[in-house]
Amino acid sequence: MPKEITHCILAERAVHTLAAAASPDKHAVGREIVFIAERLPQLLYFGSVSPDIFFYDIKLPWELRVKHRGLFWGELIHGTQGEDSLAHVMVMLDTLRDERLQANINAGRAFSTEQRDGLLLFVLGYLSHVALDTVMHPIVYHYAGNYYAPDRREKLRSEARHRAIETVLDLYNLAAIDSDLKKFRAKHKLALPEKWRDLVLAFYTQSILLAFPEEATRQFGSLTQSEIRRHPLIAVVKRCYKKQSRFNRLFQNAGIARSGLWYNRKRQDRLHFNSSLLYPAVSYSAYLSKSKGDFFKISDLQSYRDPVSNREQSIRPQALQRRALARSHAFFRAAFNYARGFSHRQDARRVLKGYSLNNGRVAVPTEKMQYFSPLQIDGNFRYITQAHHRSST
């Protein structure tokens, strides 16, 4: 993450700013992408949130017979252990050039021009997610704490702070484009059109299976490439897609948010792990108007220490946005040119490296993140005292 709304905003902005670039080469690529995005915007939006769908595979009480879970795959494609986080993205781009790979997931046929365009847009959305995570996550982890702490209480607290920071960041970024939860209509942007859903999810599934064959075999056993549509991973991907959609509808529901935050407060913050996912207001201005100084605000974040190097850096929102856009633009051009046959795989690979989505470094495992300074905020986005903190853990 950041959460879904921030990723959608960045993806859209990356497309339009590339098209507006002064460089003729950048402008030409950006213009082509804009033409596709105007026809198929939901492919871009879903691509921009798709790396996180596996983290929504929370075990529900009625899921007694579910054998395979999504969390393993979410950690893998985030490069948590230093894995190549873009190996499967390269397979996606290979598929856009290889009719044999296309036939595996398209009823034995090569992709149509529209299908190639739509799936390329999905890939570009995915890459915008990677670009933003690699820029923002070192900051979020610094202030949230160790998401992978061996102590369970600290792990849950860190995850809740992580969610709270990113929830408020969504409201902040909506305000930056003069929007709010109602105007933005995120749940409509994130839903794949029915005609695209099965193809996009099969495309995603095949890329992971071909990029990580050893992991797939350990998880599922040996299955042939022609069985993609019946492979157990496609069931995992579809379930995660549905859960992401359903949970986000809940998080953005004002009535549910009011009730959930009230109940967490009544229970002395014992539900912080869940309440931090709820949006505390429909807009950032509404959130600030009720804060009375004791709520977390984005302006509270002035500087941070890199969780790997411990190097202190200032936080300047405009500079961070420029970095995320510049990386998105570089990713877009490399992916577009390779998918269209204008460059070679090794050319794309020089840009599309295996960045960790957690620490922003290439092939560096998350365990190398050692330096944190957690904000003392609760699941209702308020700053808390140490006494309150002890009573609620």
pLDDT of 253-268, one tens digit each?
999 999 999 999 999 9
Share of the chain above pLDDT 90, in %: 90
Per-residue pLDDT, averaged over 200-208, amounts to 98
The Cα–Cα gap between 165 and 2 comes to 9
Predicted confidence at residue 300, as pLDDT, reads: 96
Residue 276 · residue 170 · CB < 8 Å: no
Q: Is the pLDDT of residue 1 over 80?
A: no
Share of the chain above pLDDT 70, in %: 96
The Cα–Cα gap between 379 and 272 comes to 4
Domain ranges of the chain: 4-58+65-373
Q: Using pLDDT thresholds of 50, 70 and 90, give the confidence band for residue 64.
A: confident
What does pLDDT average to over the chain? 95
Q: Is the pLDDT of residue 390 over 80?
A: no
Neighbours of 114 (CB within 10 A): 13
Question: Which H or E element spans position 304?
Answer: strand 303-305
Predicted confidence at residue 384, as pLDDT, reads: 87
Residue 132 phi, psi (nearest 5): -70, -45
Rounded to the nearest 10°, the torsion over CA 15, 19, 24, 29 is 50
The Cα–Cα gap between 133 and 78 comes to 10
Note the pTM of the prediction, 2 decimals.
Answer: 0.96
Predicted confidence at residue 391, as pLDDT, reads: 42
- Residue 90, both tokens: 């390269």
Predicted confidence at residue 393, as pLDDT, reads: 44
3-state helix, strand, coil in the chain (%, to 5): 65, 5, 30
